[in-house]
Amino acid sequence: MSEQLSRPSTTASIDQVEQALLANDYVADRSLATAVFLALELARPLFVEGEAGVGKTELAKVLTAVYEWDYPRQMLAIRLLEARGRAEQATTRDIFGPEFLIKRPLLQALESTDGKAPLLLIDEIDRADEEFEAYLLEILSDFQVSVPEIGTIRAAVPPVVVITSNRTREVHDALKRRCLYHWIEYPTFEKELQIVLARVPRAPRQLAEQLVRFVQRLRSEELTKVPGIAETLDWAAALMSLGVAQLEVPAVEATLGVGLKYEEDLRALRGERVRELVVEANG
């Protein structure tokens, strides 16, 4: 990536955040750039919701489970203690010390080794159980985690936290209160075209415009799952791979499975409806 976002200095601005995102091919509107700036400036987690495929996870990637014990290594340590005749005198620290701790992402995010704030992405929190959600409260409140056998581990440098949700269930208010909130809408035509041209630079502008119009019209259809930005990008790449320079019905029919993921949606669109949408997109 050409630029890396981190907690801003006092001279940083929303414009700089917007430009840093754009430099990494992430096209953000002003409200999202503002939310990112404030999350960095205030050292608060950013809770991002929106339909699947609108760019929530990609945002965290641009911004560039907790732990478990290494049981095989612990068993080896116990065997060594037994061989030395020290098993009876062994204490908890002999097998539950830091050297036996396998640090998972949540714990790693609390332990910065270079003085810089690490990025912690908690993707699709709505798919996690409520017990995990409750466990996050301690981390997001004080940026610390309690390991019973060792004690409390606190972050020397609080991580940059991005939490995403597709809203398949409501996330508890206690978690949301610890975060700044932003809802990402499906992009406008101009914004989605800019995204396609940035991420699939080989695509001719005419084809990109036609494809974006077509996908935007698809989103108004009664479908089980409408295509997101990721599907638009995949579709553009697929059409380029087929040597398509202009949106035509045969190419769209042949690649419908790139943008639509349910058989009933494919059945509903094939034929006359696809032709109508392609004509509208080329108009």
132: CATH:
3.40.50.300
The answer to whether residue 144 is domain-embedded is yes
Q: Which residues contact 113 (CB under 8 A, 6 or more apart)?
A: none
> Does residue 255 have a pLDDT over 50?
yes
Q: Which of 158, 184, 210 is the last residue of a domain?
A: 184
| Same domain, yes or no: 253 and 122 | no
The answer to whether residue 204 is domain-embedded is yes
The answer to whether residue 139 is domain-embedded is yes
The answer to whether residue 88 is domain-embedded is yes
Share of the chain above pLDDT 70, in %: 74
Domain count, the chain: 3
- pLDDT on residue 75: 55
Name the band, by pLDDT with cuts 50, 70 and 90, for residue 261. very high
The answer to whether residue 9 is domain-embedded is no
Name the band, by pLDDT with cuts 50, 70 and 90, for residue 149. low
CA distances in angstroms from 256 to 208, 261, 277, listed in the order given: 16, 9, 13
| Same domain, yes or no: 198 and 254 | yes
Name the band, by pLDDT with cuts 50, 70 and 90, for residue 68. very low
Name the band, by pLDDT with cuts 50, 70 and 90, for residue 107. low
- pLDDT on residue 226: 93
| Same domain, yes or no: 81 and 140 | no
The answer to whether residue 107 is domain-embedded is no
Instruction: Please tell me the total number of residues recorded for the chain in this structure.
Output: 283
Q: Which of 134, 166, 184 is the last residue of a domain?
A: 184
Q: Which of 184, 204, 225 is the last residue of a domain?
A: 184
Name the band, by pLDDT with cuts 50, 70 and 90, for residue 106. low
| Same domain, yes or no: 59 and 88 | no
Domain extent, residue 162, equals 14-64+115-184
| Same domain, yes or no: 47 and 124 | yes
The answer to whether residue 6 is domain-embedded is no
| Same domain, yes or no: 71 and 60 | no
- pLDDT on residue 62: 80
| Same domain, yes or no: 143 and 263 | no
| Same domain, yes or no: 31 and 121 | yes
| Same domain, yes or no: 218 and 254 | yes
Phi-psi region of 272 (alpha: psi -120 to 50; beta: other; left: phi over 0): alpha
Interatomic CA distance for residues 75 and 73, integer angstroms: 5
| Same domain, yes or no: 145 and 278 | no
> Does residue 209 have a pLDDT over 90?
yes
